[in-house]
Amino acid sequence: MCEYNLTIPSLGESINEVTIIRWLKKEGDFIKKEEILVEITTDKINSEITSPINGFLKKKFYNKNDIVEIGCIIATLTTSKKIDKKNEIKFYIKKENNKIFYSPIVRKIAEKEKINFYELETINGTGIKGRVTKNDILTYIKNKKSKKILLYKSKKNNFNEKIIKMNRIRKITSDHMIYSKKTSAHVTSFVEADVTNIVKWRENLKESFKKKTGEKLTIMSVFVRCVIKAIKDLPMINISVNETNIIIKKNINIGIATALPDGNLIVPVIKNADFYNLFELIKIINDLVKRAKLNKLKPEETKDGTYTISNIGSFGNLFGTPIIHQPQVAIMAIGLIHKKLSIIENSGVDYIKIRHKIYLSHSYDHRVIDGILGGGFVKKVAYYLEKFNIYTKIKK
């Protein structure tokens, strides 16, 4: 039994990745040589990849809607016959009306220089009816090689630029953010909250709390508690979406977006956050954030979140438009706590006082959350923040 690894062929210099549209065969199916196996797409064109052999589809490594880099193995095929090394993956471009024709000499040159049909189509033909001539393809190859040389020289000689590769976390984050924007219809609502009581409460207790417990008294613990209360009031925020199905989560697992020393981002998760009292939340948050920055989190500690909080105030930002952490449907960004002159009404009389204010930015998936729920939720969180009791005790 011989195996053949099926890869995504080159689609031109500017194409680095494709998206799987659909598989036409299942694992275990028999496939004839040159039979269409999978349909793919780029931002420019839809295409088909055919089987280079008669055999069976042993294993698919990617599914529908997966993004795959050029050159990656997408499937393994098996055959009882020895595989001819000259077998090449046939790659078809879907055309609307006009049929592509290339002369034998052009096809021979293209095969030798490993130029596929997509690249051939990009060459401007000077022959009859715009056909690509021998001179056209040779000129294209010459220009292509000279461009690579010039690109190499410009990279080598440009001392004003430095090229660095994305590390693994940065690339995963990048892919996840792009996927989230493609998946969810993002809407963001903003609310201002008065957190004066919380600020004063922390100032009064932080030193004694540190001496007594060894723990840093974080305001984030209060935000988490208020978010939990709001989720219990409005449980349709604590959901996910699977195609046309809405999945309501029974557990409240709160993710805390944490900036790492190298500038990357990670989201440790407090599982069953509603089971803990304030003291326990303080300890858990301090521990997760500390180990996150030391790169000591376990894989399961970043999974299964149902709602995420991002503290953009730590960067000095007032408000923002956070991107939803898939497969969740909402995320809240907490802005910088700052002093403001505010009008306070008391017994029908207005007073001007200095208060500690904060902006809450709530991004939610408009496919399943309308403004009345998305905007109402952030308003509910603000309500609980403003009603926080300045005399709250921290009990173990």
- What domains, with CATH codes, occur in the chain? 2-156 (2.40.50.100), 170-386 (3.30.559.10)
Q: Where is 293: in which H helix or E strand?
A: helix 278-293
Non-local CB neighbours of 383 within 8 Å, separated by 6+ positions: none
Q: Which amino acid is at 108?
A: K
One pLDDT digit (tens) per residue for the chain, 396 residues: 688 888 888 765 556 788 888 899 998 899 888 888 888 887 546 678 888 888 889 999 999 888 888 888 899 888 866 555 444 444 464 443 344 567 778 888 888 887 776 677 778 788 776 778 888 888 888 887 776 656 555 555 556 677 787 776 778 788 888 999 999 999 999 999 999 999 999 999 999 999 999 999 989 999 999 999 999 999 999 999 988 899 999 999 999 998 888 778 889 999 999 999 999 999 999 999 999 888 888 878 888 999 999 999 988 999 999 999 999 999 999 999 999 999 888 888 898 999 999 999 999 999 999 999 999 999 999 999 999 999 999 988
Q: Which pLDDT does position 163 carry in this prediction?
A: 76
Q: Which of 176, 186, 356, 366 is flagged as catalytic?
A: 366
Q: What's the chain's length in residues?
A: 396
Q: Which pLDDT does position 194 carry in this prediction?
A: 96
175 counts as catalytic: no
User: What is the chain's alpha carbon radius of gyration, rounded to the nearest angstrom?
Assistant: 29
Q: Is 290 left (phi over 0), alpha (psi -120 to 50) or beta?
A: alpha
User: What letters, b where the CB count within 10 A reaches 16 and e where it falls short, cover 238-266?
Assistant: bbbbeeeeeeebeebbbbbbbbeeeeebb
E runs forming strands in 25-97? 30-31, 36-41, 46-50, 55-60, 67-69, 73-79, 91-93
Q: Which of 29, 66, 304, 370 is flagged as catalytic?
A: 370
Q: Which pLDDT does position 153 carry in this prediction?
A: 56
Q: Which pLDDT does position 14 carry in this prediction?
A: 56
The two three-digit tokens of residue 340, written as one number: 């403001």
Collapsing DSSP to helix, strand or coil, 172 comes out as: helix
Q: Which pLDDT does position 354 carry in this prediction?
A: 94
274 counts as catalytic: no
Q: Which pLDDT does position 294 carry in this prediction?
A: 85
